[in-house]
Structure 1
Amino acid sequence: MVELILLAPEDCVENVSDALIDELDALSVSVEDADADTDAEHALFGEPGMPAPKAGWQRSVVRALFPDDAAATEAATLLLAQDWAQAVHVQAIQPVPEQDWVRLTQSQFAPVPVTPEFWIVPSWHEPPPGATRVIRLDPGLAFGTGTHPTTRMCLRWTARQSAERRARWNRVLDYGCGSGILAIGAALHGADRIDAVDIDPAAVESTTANAVANAVTLNAGLPDAASGTYALVFANILATPLTLLAPLLCAHVAAGGDLVLAGILERQADALRTAYAPWLALQVSDTEDGWILMTARRPG
């Protein structure tokens, strides 16, 4: 494996990246700030669901992987021959040291505590002492490995409420299930008859596999698999789709049932309360790192 390293100004980065992937057969392309860790570093901040304020840095390092030196050299030659690439410069063409990528990936994922007794543990780790409930979940294509505050807050709510409410959790819906982690967490805390739905078929497959790995029973499918009312409804998505889904999600909450929403920034709380007010009264039940958990209970 050989890496082609280029230095490109902001207005060329998109063209360079597209050319490397679409026309020059790069195996992968990554872009980073050429001035990182210097006084000239300029951070780009964006919020979930919103575009970054700028498309890139003033100067970017573009790294492209190729199978061999000849392919990398040919790509650099063809790229620099373009009229628009006059400001692009080759910094290096160098071999990439072989690594144990499986071990490297695994080293980045450690057990995640939800509560002192409830943990998310990758399959290659042993559960920590004191963990009485464990979700076995490996990184995959679907969102939801337990490392994000929104996921942890949903699971924490489940763990804290289960002693009082699990007897009523005879039907549960995880809407936008991703990896299925919230559905699995509910099952481990006594919930029954669980539907986990997502618009992404890869998420449905991931949820099914993760349920098997955790020895829990649930029904995973596309959104039309959700029907009727449920004693507990989860939706960990983002504020904009949660707003649009307000009538649908509220219609799925049974009398006496709970709605648990996540993927919401603190500043979005009032907008969500307003969107759900015709059906349910949302309140903030947890906060972590600028994110909030909002819940509501239907009277009955």
Structure 2
Amino acid sequence: MPWLQIKFFTSPEQAAEIEDLLLESGCASVTLLDAADTPVYEPEKGSTPLWQHTIVMGLYEDNVVEQEIVDHVRNHLVLADNQTFPQYKSEILEDKEWERAWMDHFHPIQFGKRLWVCPSWREVPDPTATNLMLDPGLAFGTGTHQTTALCLEWLESLDLTDLDIIDYGCGSGILGIAGLLLGARHMIGVDNDSQALIATRDNARRNHIEDSRVEIYLPDDFPPQQADVVVANILAGPLITLAPVIADCVKPGGLIAMSGLFERHVDSIMLSYAPWIEFSPYATKEGWVRLNGVRRITE
């Protein structure tokens, strides 16, 4: 059965109301998209941030009359004095197996020589490699983004045997779990989103990691402690604000990697961590940066 898809190009202020109006008009599903392809990585706890240019996309059975949908939105959408009715467009989508099409988008990805991240429905390319089984979910981090890839490549390059690792801003837990599969003894995941903590625990179990090897905390509950290796794939702002906290997670002589930033942020972040961290040359991937270094040993 074909489907009618209607997209409204709007602002964050209008998006929620348009979503409600589409559902009222019999929409089978509503999806919010970013018109400028700008991801939101670190929302405030309990918030649902939207993009400056948001697409509200509704999917209808093909027997629905497009003009009736548009008229319903037009007649009920409350516009401020400086707002105009949003632009929209529609198209007919041929029927297909949408779940299968979504699944086909995700493939195993290799990081370094010995680490693969694989969705559960795909065959493992190299059974002799370190294979992290991870499906896309609510928490950020599947290996497809450049910042995650930079951190995974760094972890893969280390000898993590019997080391402890802290994944600060753990999201899906991909970095800490990768560390465990690569030989680390124990991981601690910290995130301000409780959903991320659930995802980290679930993903660890999916990879046959014992619960005793994984600790997860909200930041306010995190008991101060140090690890041999720390990864923090968040954003430049939180990295700077949390500099004393994150730096103090690293044992003297321990290693740290940070990502979620652009080259324009490098100097300010290095300055923020200068009292504790001696940095190596940074790595880049498609404009994104990974900073890594060593915690200074002080007498």
TM-score computed with the length of structure 2 as normaliser = 0.78
The equivalent residue for 2:166 is 173
Gaps spanning 5+ residues in structure 1: where? 34-43
SS in 2 for 1:23: helix
Change (3 A) 1:226 1:255: same
Change (3 A) 1:15 1:189: closer
1:153-192 aligned at under 5 Å gives the runs: 153-162=150-159, 166-167=161-162, 169=163, 171-192=164-185
Change (3 A) 1:102 1:263: same
Change (3 A) 1:46 1:105: closer
Change (3 A) 1:68 1:158: same
CA deviations 1:235-260 (Å, max 9, x no partner) are 00011110111010111111221111
CA contact (8 A) 1:17 1:29 kept: no
Give, as a single letter, the amino acid of the residue that structure 2 aligns with 1:264: L
Give, as a single letter, the amino acid of the residue that structure 2 aligns with 1:193: H
Give, as a single letter, the amino acid of the residue that structure 2 aligns with 1:185: A
Gaps spanning 5+ residues in structure 2: where? 43-50
1:70-219 aligned at under 5 Å gives the runs: 74-81=68-75, 96-129=93-126, 131-162=128-159, 166-167=161-162, 169=163, 171-216=164-209, 217-219=213-215
Give, as a single letter, the amino acid of the residue that structure 2 aligns with 1:137: L
The equivalent residue for 1:274 is 271
Per-residue deviation, 1:287: 1.8
Change (3 A) 1:108 1:131: farther
Measure the CA separation in 2 of the matches of 1:55 and 1:166: 45
Change (3 A) 1:255 1:22: same
The equivalent residue for 2:46 is none
Change (3 A) 1:22 1:48: closer
Measure the CA separation in 2 of the matches of 1:126 and 1:55: 39
The equivalent residue for 1:221 is 217
Give, as a single letter, the amino acid of the residue that structure 1 aligns with 2:21: E
Change (3 A) 1:29 1:133: closer
What is the percent sequence identity of the aligned residues? 30
Give, as a single letter, the amino acid of the residue that structure 1 aligns with 2:215: N
Give, as a single letter, the amino acid of the residue that structure 2 aligns with 1:243: I
Measure the CA separation in 2 of the matches of 1:205 and 1:148: 21
CA contact (8 A) 1:194 1:219 kept: yes
CA deviations 1:26-76 (Å, max 9, x no partner) are 43155787xxxxxxxxxx5869779xxx954xxx98642246745866432
TM-score computed with the length of structure 1 as normaliser = 0.78
Q: Which stretch of the first structure deviates more once superposed, 260-269 or 121-130? A: 121-130
CA contact (8 A) 2:107 2:122 kept: yes
User: Which has the greater radius of gyration?
Assistant: 1
Structural RMSD (CA): 3.3
Give, as a single letter, the amino acid of the residue that structure 2 aligns with 1:181: I
Q: Which stretch of the first structure deviates more once superposed, 139-148 or 214-223? A: 214-223
SS in 2 for 1:161: coil
SS in 2 for 1:143: coil
CA contact (8 A) 1:266 1:290 kept: yes
